[in-house]
Structure 1
């Protein structure tokens, strides 16, 4: 009985790591994390940045008389341009001011 336990422990010790591995794997230890960050950039950040540039270009091109849709779903016609906002006519004698960032799309 005792001999069986001893043999079992001996087998476990044989499977244990020997400690031959030295520390300090260098950049190879960080390579998976670096690859994940690069993939994250190309899959999420770069497309969002491109979309933001397109939106900024569209907003800069807006002028009086252009029909637009806001993020809130309001349709109107640009009647004035201020520093950080547009004046929209949304009905007869109804004008509102919206932030430039609130313009969702130009209506053709």
Structure 2
């Protein structure tokens, strides 16, 4: 019996190590990036320039709870869902 439990532990150890490596290289950085993106979206305000997931560079004219009203370079206004903000321009 003792040989079988030691054999089981030694066979599961590489699997546990592989999961730990996978967690620290893939899952954890992805969660951190998602948290930073959510914080960036929460801090958006009127006058900020952003890039949408579609590649549009626009300026925020109004911030609603779930949406942003943005102005394009030709002064046309559009409604944008906050989750589609890719990044904020400095």
Instruction: State the TM bucket, normalised to the shorter chain.
Output: 0.7 to 0.9
RMSD: 1.5
Structure having greater relative contact order (Cα 8 Å, sep ≥ 6): 2
> Could you say which structure has the larger radius of gyration?
1
- Where structure 2 has 5 or more consecutive residues not aligned to the other structure, the ranges are none
Match of 2:88 in 1: 106
Kindly report which structure 2 residues correspond to 1:14-53, keeping only aligned pairs within 5 A, or say none: 23-24=4-5, 25-53=7-35
Unaligned runs of 5+ in 1: 1-21
Paired position in structure 2 for 1:57: 39
- The one-character-per-residue Cα deviations of 1:35-74 (angstroms, maximum 9, x if unpaired) are 0000000000111111111111111111011111111110
Q: TM-score, normalised by structure 1?
A: 0.72
- Aligned-residue offset at 1:93: 4.3
1:9 match: none
Pairing 1:5-16 to 2, within 5 Å after superposition? none
Distance 2:63 2:83 in 1: 13
Deviations 1:17-47 (A, max 9, x none): xxxxx54423222111110000000000111
